[in-house]
Amino acid sequence: MIRFRTMISMNVHEAKAHLSEYLAQVEAGEIIVICRRNKPIAELRSIAAPRKTPRPIGLAAGTGHVPPAFFEPLDDVLLDLFEGKGTAD
């Protein structure tokens, strides 16, 4: 089942005057667009709930490969480029 959210638009003055009421609506799933001179400038929406379980560790284990050449020293030209001493040709 697809749940569509409704959207409420209001001007800044109204948002300031009734903020606590609008926050309750946001918690219920509403999206509120705040306008200045009837032009949208911000959107007030709920944030995702924090994770209740820790993320599993090692999901990508074995999917990457580091070649042995990665651990070899850089040649002098490339090392100078990293240190800002040389110029790329």
Per-residue pLDDT tens over the stretch 42-81: 999 998 888 899 988 888 888 999 999 999 998 898 888 8
Q: What is the pLDDT of residue 51?
A: 86
3-state secondary structure of 34: strand
Q: Give the other-Cβ count within 10 Å of 43's Cβ.
A: 11
CATH number at residue 17: 3.40.1620.10
Please check whether residue 24 lies inside any domain of the structure. yes
Residue 37 included in any domain: yes
pLDDT tens digit sequence for 13-38: 888 899 999 999 998 889 999 999 88
Which domain range does residue 14 map to?
7-44
* Within-domain flag for 19: yes
- 52: Cβ–Cβ under 8 A, 6 or more apart, which residues? none
Predicted TM-score of the model (pTM): 0.49
